[in-house]
Structure 1
């Protein structure tokens, strides 16, 4: 049996473990969004959320708001614009400055995601993180194990499954 070398190397490979956890979270978030009928890369949602929270932003501002490079933001915006979820406009007075904003379709998608999907994702990730305590490497191992043992999709489905009502909880006719 091959051992997990990245885990065994501890702090030496911490960046790789963070990337691995991030990739797992994004893939599972993608599956959860697909289950809700949203066919959009999970990596695009931080951009949509930033535009929803802050209004129109330039590429540099958007890059700072989500903490990724401008080339990554520019590539993502091309896809979002092609999907009709964002639009860009030149600024009055200086046509070199372009601001990106949510289109009406983008606003509707974000409203739906905020209502139906984001709370489920947040609750599922919080559930994985809730028992974490102790040294960082042990916490990372617990987070990875939590993602491997029960996916976000499974956690979300379990949280949406109706619980049986006890005698005092039954609704009145």
Structure 2
């Protein structure tokens, strides 16, 4: 069967990147579960952010990860249920909550940094070899280009053929 997403090239790049991302996350999940950890792989970036940057507000975590605040809020709820993070009211502004790792969260992240995450990173590097650094540089360039100007603005810069809009078949 033809891989239509691959065949359409840059037209479906977002779909292809999402597909690769979902595959990497699922395979990362398998590694985590093999270690006996009952935590979604999608939560790892939140834990790593708190370990690297210290206590943060929900908005700051979302900003550091480049994801939506509602998504981070859902993840933090699950991490709080698991006893890995705690939310504290900000003394200066009662509307703000500061999120930090609990002692159990710190132990979990320390173990992950020592054992799990290096193994996952090495496996991904092997899968990307020898193009890993180039791939990361290209992703960075794409993110910067999309930050500088979104696709709609880019499409509107170029005249299109005066044709009737086509509906999906």
Counting matched residue pairs gives 135
The residue aligned with 2:29 is: 30
Secondary structure of residue in 2 paired with 1:94: coil
TM-score, normalised by the number of residues in structure 1: 0.74
Q: Separation in 2 of the partners of 1:26 and 1:126?
A: 15
Structure-to-structure mapping, 1:12-31, within 5 angstroms: 12-31=11-30
Q: Separation in 2 of the partners of 1:109 and 1:129?
A: 27
Which gives a bigger RCO, structure 1 or 2 (Cα 8 Å, sep 6+)? 1
The residue aligned with 2:70 is: 71
Q: Separation in 1 of the partners of 2:82 and 2:39?
A: 9
TM-score, normalised by the number of residues in structure 2: 0.76
Secondary structure of residue in 2 paired with 1:22: helix
The residue aligned with 1:120 is: 119
Structure 2 spans left out of the alignment, 5+ residues: 139-169
The reply to whether residue 90 of structure 1 matches residue 89 of structure 2 is yes
The residue aligned with 1:4 is: 3
Structure 1 spans left out of the alignment, 5+ residues: 140-173
Secondary structure of residue in 2 paired with 1:96: coil
Displacement of 1:105 in angstroms is 0.8
